[in-house]
Amino acid sequence: MESLFESLFYKTEANTLFSAEAYLEAMLRFEAALAQAEAEQGMIPVAAAQAITEACAAPNLDMVNLKLQIGLAGNPNIPLVKQLTAAVKKIDPEAAKFVHLGATSQDVMDTAMVLQLKAAVLLMQKDLKQLLAQLRHLAEEHRHSIMVGRSFMQHARPITFGFKVVTWLDGLIRSAERLEYNLQHNLVLQFGGAVGTLAGFGEKSEAIAQSLAEKLDVTLPHISWHTQRDRLVELASTLGILSGNLGKIAKDISLLMQTEIGEVFEPAGAGKGGSSTMPHKRNPVGCVAILAAAQRMPALVAALLQAMPQDHERATGLWHAEWLPLVELCKVSAGALQQALVLTNGLEVDTERMRQNLELTRGLIFAENISLALADKVGKATAHEWIEALCQTVSATHTHLKIIVLADSRIQALLSKTEIEQLFDPANALGECDRLIDGVLATF
């Protein structure tokens, strides 16, 4: 069923990285590299390593039987090693006894997962870099596009659309930093043997481990992490946060697309966002896909967190509980990123509608400006009391606040008409928008 929704919730390239075939290929990479590292240290014959490497490159697996045997063995590595051993035996019967020597299934499976995760993170980093560039361009383009800022879904004070975009950008920059940290520190080799002590490798264990890590291009940790899962949980949390950041963008855009607001729209396209019954509809389908991803992620991250208290040196069920949620976390995150790239490439921004919407409250969004200007002259409490009463008059009479303020003799005695006009100019109510935009853009 997943394939039915691939273009909506996923990214094909990421799904391919986590296919069954890709996972088994990564496991075989481990087995070949292990044999080569052991041969370098004289633990097994060079000819045996060559035969194992050859078999790993073209294993000709019986997938139907392998899948059936997983249910009996409890993990994919045991039936995989059996088939690999048979394949090696056909090449060199003597070499068959050296397959998977000294390692344990979790060494192979965790490292294979790390290899897949590394490829997925690199893919997401590429997309995230492009997304940051698109948002940067959008922020620069709309640096001076004035719109209303909203608090508790209500009109508050003017901002610019560029300011809104850099708030999105700011969170995503941190997500990019977290992804890089995970790539550098958390995607490491798993290698410990039966209980993590490397007892099956004798005095050659350190050299074999170092060589294995180099061949697989992953970092060698100080100790195996069979039941210490914080690295993977940190990556899961990073992906959850990333999807939440993307969800924030989707939430804002979907709200701005509402008929009553109509300030921002997803890029148009043939057949995009239509309704099966209402021809006039333009649904925020990209936002929907991203928000669906953000909604799913907390439960997936929680599954990894719940699996952390693992028993002794090899977990009973909790390690196994990680496998599918971890894969889904990566696939869903990659899919949300893909949708965000489409969403922000050609985003339609109606600056005229933004200007029109600024006037919906009949000037009430400038009430704080007037109150602050009067506070220097009559005190904050009195100024607030005066303007609060005038705002109530606006609501009762549907008259623009500026007209009411200009007619108030108390305010006339304290502020000139020019000063009042300036206080109702949106461009004078933006605070530090420009400086704050520059501050975020300077960070990457």
Q: What pLDDT sits at residue 275?
A: 45
Q: Do 241 and 201 belong to one domain?
A: no
| Residue 349 parent element (H or E) | strand 348-349
Do the domain assignments include residue 369?
A: yes
Do the domain assignments include residue 76?
A: yes
Task: Kindly give, in sequence order, each residue whose CB lies less than 8 Å from that of residue 7, ignoring residues fewer than 6 positions away.
Answer: none
**CA-CA distance, 154 to 344, in Å (whole number)?**
25
Q: Do 380 and 297 belong to one domain?
A: no
**CA-CA distance, 121 to 127, in Å (whole number)?**
10
Q: Do 382 and 322 belong to one domain?
A: no
**CA-CA distance, 165 to 139, in Å (whole number)?**
6
Cβ of 374: how many Cβ atoms within 10 Å? 22
SS3 219: strand
Q: Name the pLDDT band for 283 (thresholds 50, 70, 90).
A: confident
Which candidate, 58, 175, 198, 54, places its Cα nearest to that of 121? 175
Position 115 pLDDT exceeds 60: yes
Q: Do 129 and 146 belong to one domain?
A: yes
Q: Do 289 and 336 belong to one domain?
A: yes
Strand residues in 207-273 grouped as ranges (E): 264-265
Span 56-84, average pLDDT: 95
Q: Name the pLDDT band for 331 (thresholds 50, 70, 90).
A: very high
> Is the pTM value of this prediction over 0.85?
yes
Do the domain assignments include residue 430?
A: no
| Residue 160 parent element (H or E) | strand 154-160
Q: Do 60 and 164 belong to one domain?
A: no
Position 312 pLDDT exceeds 60: yes
Which candidate, 64, 55, 117, 63, places its Cα nearest to that of 87? 55
Question: Between residues 136 and 1, which one has the greater pLDDT?
Answer: 136
CATH number where 76 lies: 1.10.275.10
Residue 230 near residue 308 (C-beta atoms within 8 A):
yes
**CA-CA distance, 137 to 345, in Å (whole number)?**
10
Q: What pLDDT sits at residue 261?
A: 96
* 248 CB burial (10 A radius; 0-12, 13-18, 19+): middle
Give the model confidence (pLDDT) of 207-238 as tens digits.
999 999 999 999 999 999 999 999 999 999 99
CA 103 vs. chain centroid, Å, equals 34
Q: What pLDDT sits at residue 270?
A: 52
Cβ of 113: how many Cβ atoms within 10 Å? 22
Alpha helices per DSSP H over 74-104 = 77-91
Q: Which amino acid is at 32?
A: A
Residue 408 near residue 390 (C-beta atoms within 8 A):
yes
Do the domain assignments include residue 5?
A: no
Give the model confidence (pLDDT) of 378-417 as tens digits.
999 999 999 999 999 999 999 999 999 999 999 999 999 9
Q: Do 165 and 198 belong to one domain?
A: no
Q: Do 397 and 309 belong to one domain?
A: no
Q: What pLDDT sits at residue 59?
A: 87
Token representation of residue 4: 């039915």
> Which segment of 9-23, 261-275, 371-385 scores lowest on mean pLDDT?
261-275
CATH number where 387 lies: 1.10.40.30
Do the domain assignments include residue 1?
A: no
Position 20 pLDDT exceeds 90: yes
Q: Do 243 and 310 belong to one domain?
A: yes
Position 277 pLDDT exceeds 50: no
Q: Do 34 and 146 belong to one domain?
A: no
Kindly provide the b/e burial profile for residues 288-300, where b requires at least 16 CB atoms within 10 angstroms of the residue's own CB.
bbbbbbbebbeeb
Residue 303 near residue 311 (C-beta atoms within 8 A):
no
Do the domain assignments include residue 193?
A: yes
Active-site residue list? 275, 314
Q: Do 145 and 277 belong to one domain?
A: yes
Q: Do 90 and 210 belong to one domain?
A: yes
CATH number where 147 lies: 1.20.200.10
**CA-CA distance, 17 to 9, in Å (whole number)?**
16
Q: What pLDDT sits at residue 281?
A: 52
Instruction: Decide which of 220, 241, 263 is a domain's last residue.
Output: 220
Do the domain assignments include residue 210?
A: yes
Kindly provide the b/e burial profile for residues 81-112, where b requires at least 16 CB atoms within 10 angstroms of the residue's own CB.
bbbbbebbbebbeebbebbbbbbbbbbbbbbb
DSSP-derived letter for residue 225 is: -
Q: What pLDDT sits at residue 343?
A: 96
Which candidate, 381, 380, 383, 407, places its Cα nearest to that of 393? 407
**CA-CA distance, 193 to 106, in Å (whole number)?**
8
Total domains in the fold of the chain: 3
Domain of 417, in residue numbers: 364-423
In the chain, the percentage of residues whose pLDDT exceeds 70 is: 97
Phi-psi region of 19 (alpha: psi -120 to 50; beta: other; left: phi over 0): beta
Token representation of residue 56: 């790993």
Do the domain assignments include residue 319?
A: yes
Token representation of residue 346: 């050609």
**CA-CA distance, 359 to 431, in Å (whole number)?**
19
Question: Between residues 188 and 60, which one has the greater pLDDT?
Answer: 188
Position 9 pLDDT exceeds 60: yes
Calculate the CA dihedral of residues 437, 438, 442, 444 and round it to 10 degrees. 30
Any idea what the Cα angle at residue 373 is, between residues 371 and 375, rounded to 5°? 65
